[in-house]
Amino acid sequence: MKRNHIFFNRIFGVVAAFSLTAPACTKNFEKINTDPNGLWEKDLKGDYALYGGPFNQIQLSIHQYTPDWQYQLQQNLNADIWSGYMMTPVNFANNVNNTNYAMVDGWNDRIWLTAYGNVMSPALAVIQRAKADNFPNFEAWGLILKVMAMHRVSDFFGPIVYTKFGTINADGSVTYDSQQEAYTAFFKDLDDAQAKLAPYAEDANAPLAFGRFDLVYGGSYVKWMKFLNSLRLRLAIRIAKADPAKAKAEAEKALSNSFGVIETNAEDFIIDSKTITNPLNIISNNWLDINMGAPMESFLTGYSDPRLPIYFQPATDAAFAGQYRGIRSGIQMLDENTYLNFSRLGNLGTKTPMLTAAETWFLRAEAKLNGWADGGVASIKEAYEKGIQLSFSQWGLSNAAFDAYKVSTAKPKPYVDPKNAVNNVPAGSPVLSTVSPLWNEAGTTAEKREQILTQKWLAIYPESCEAWAEFRRTGYPKLFPVVVNNSNGVVPTGEFIKRVNFVISERENNQGGYQGAVQKLGGADNINTRLWWNVP
């Protein structure tokens, strides 16, 4: 345990130093945008390798597969915890860190650096090359993956460098898009990709040029079109409060497209490295740095959810061995042993689910709740139950298990911390959910939305970036606020973190861009300023 943490601290120092000197969209743009991997004609002749070679890195870096410490910084010590899915048993930085809203810039820089260095830069280079050489299929593929990666970055920070990436101003700065501008550009890029990819998807004899580079669909154009439509639907739902008309138009465009959206698990967008284990396996079971979160214990045990032993392992603490125990986030963590043997994560193998049929059916349920047109769904209940059923199926559970679950009137359990009662969430607490799996047709719109979002949250585990974004957008599922709030009053007591402040490298190396980004944010550059789509 100590050895791994010593290694982590050394890496942390390297990351902090790198964040001060890395390009991060402000330096050496010509090099970044013309030679992302040092792979060009002399190395990549034939078999589309010139265009497809960088896509392996691009796909793996949306969710940083390797090295494991980069994923720990990119997603695990932020969204994995803020989503309610997980919590660390370790008192990093003497218990003054992201988990209790004391932002560790050297951790959070990795969210930005990985996206721009490993996804945005090579994607833009491939898009430009494919466009110049008239390979619209690879151009479309690059556009789709760019949107997939960068909407996640925007959902952390708000304004991002997107449409002006690769363009340096006279003063050496790079201009940010507001989040609204970025989302508009996302939809435009999806339009462009759709127009370019559709002819290939419509042609049953089109060569599967993506084949050996595609870690998701083996080169299937039809499945990529379904994913594109599902991604459009996800983004449309996200902006439903901020721009209802645009949201409705984009959602209905996705739902009416002839290729449809992801409907079965055979169409799930799951990145499979084939050889590299999901970093969560290493972080939880080797380093012992991450465990089940308290909200997951409350919902999964309260519902007697059969996904529980798949998602997590029983605790090994002698006092309650064999039980499932989660750790509440933002608690006083005095040492690295007290919570060490609470439930660790189940084995995720080499796969990372990122947009599944279950999520898409819950998106359709909410779209139907919003009154948007969807000819493929008869009722909100149908889409809601289909989402649960597809999640169960995804994890290898039977239809019989689903049939029993969908009529359950069970409620989440109060949370009891066996180590410190200060962290308990008792029955009757306003932060303890009271919704059941059984669909409540007589419920209010708010109650129905809570049911949809609660089951969606359980279904899309462990995709925490999406779970955290949806919690901020809707307030569902009900999560437990931090017990120790080290934000120095920035986040009011009882409230939740709303974003990540802009990274060190941008504040120091892109001053002009940074100042413009703060203006476009519409509030202070801190963790309590709402994102554009996060309308109260």
Residue 259 has a CB neighbour count (10 Å cut-off) of 19
Query: What Rg, from alpha-carbon coordinates, does the chain have?
Result: 22
Cα diameter, the chain:
68
Token pair for residue 326?
A: 């989660």
Could you identify the residue written with the tokens 């290493």? 282
Burial class of 476 by CB neighbour count within 10 A (0 to 12, 13 to 18, 19+) = buried
Residue ranges of E strands in 324-435 = 351-355
Q: Which two tokens stand for residue 383?
A: 């889409």
How is residue 486 written in tokens? 């080290």
What's the confidence (pLDDT) of residue 65?
84
Six-digit token pair at 109? Answer: 């820089």
Contacts of 432 (CB under 8 A, 6+ apart): 298, 412, 414, 415, 425, 426, 478
- Residue 432 sits at the vertex; the CA angle it makes with 452 and 533, to the nearest 5 degrees, is 50
For residue 525 the two structure tokens come to 């550059």
Rounded to an integer, what distance in angstroms lies between the CA atom of residue 76 and that of residue 78?
A: 5
Return the bridge partners of 355, or none. Answer: 269
CB atoms within 10 A of CB 511: 14
Name 195's Cβ contacts closer than 8 Å, sequence gap at least 6: none
Backbone phi, then psi, for 239, in 5-degree steps? -100, 20
Contact of 254 with 229, CB cutoff 8 Å: yes
| Cα distance between residue 103 and residue 337, in whole Å | 23
**Tens of each residue's pLDDT in the chain, 536 residues:** 333 432 333 233 333 333 323 333 333 333 333 333 443 343 344 679 889 999 999 999 998 888 999 999 999 999 999 999 999 999 999 999 999 999 999 999 999 999 999 999 999 999 999 999 999 999 999 999 999 999 999 999 999 999 999 999 999 999 999 999 999 999 999 999 999 999 999 999 998 999 999 999 999 999 999 999 999 999 999 999 999 999 999 999 999 999 999 999 999 999 999 999 999 999 999 999 999 999 999 999 999 999 999 999 999 999 999 999 999 999 999 899 999 999 999 999 999 999 999 999 999 999 999 999 999 999 999 999 999 999 999 999 999 999 999 999 999 999 999 999 999 999 999 999 999 999 999 999 999 999 999 999 999 999 999 999 999 999 999 999 999 999 999 999 999 999 999 999 999 999 999 999 999 999 999 999 999 999 99
The distance of Cα 96 from the centroid of its chain, to the nearest Å, equals: 24
Which residue's structure tokens are 């109060």? 414
Distance CA 216, CA 55 (A): 11
Structure tokens belonging to residue 210: 């993506």
